């Protein structure tokens, strides 16, 4: 647990990115579960979603 706390304090933007990416991908799976995407389409959507989460974390760090 100390490792997670230390990582959160030392790498705030990356920690935010990871948390946002997990949440965004969970929402993506829930929203598009019945669409019928192929594997490559899922990979592209997940990649774009993780990239978007990174941009959001970067913007949050501007404060």
pLDDT tens digit sequence for 1-59:
888 788 888 888 999 999 999 999 999 999 999 999 999 999 999 999 999 999 999 99
- Count structural domains, the chain: 1
Where in the sequence is the domain holding 36, given as residue range(s)?
A: 2-60
Dihedrals phi, psi of 50, to nearest 5 degrees: -65, -40
Residue 35 corresponds to which tokens in the numbers above?
């669409």
Residue 5 corresponds to which tokens in the numbers above?
């706390």
Contact (CB, 8 A) for 32 and 48: no
**In sequence order, what are the residues at sequence separation of 6 or more whose Cβ sits closer than 8 angstroms to the Cβ of residue 61?**
12, 13, 16
Return the pLDDT at 8: 80
**pLDDT for 63 beyond 80:** no
Return the pLDDT at 7: 82
Flag whether the pTM goes above 0.75.
yes
């Amino acid at each position: 647990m100390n490792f997670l706390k230390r990582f959160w304090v030392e790498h705030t933007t990356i920690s935010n990115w990871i948390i946002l990416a997990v949440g965004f991908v969970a929402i993506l799976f829930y929203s598009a579960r019945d669409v019928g995407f192929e594997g490559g389409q899922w990979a592209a959507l997940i990649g774009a979603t993780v990239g978007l989460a990174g941009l959001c974390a970067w913007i949050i760090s501007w404060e």
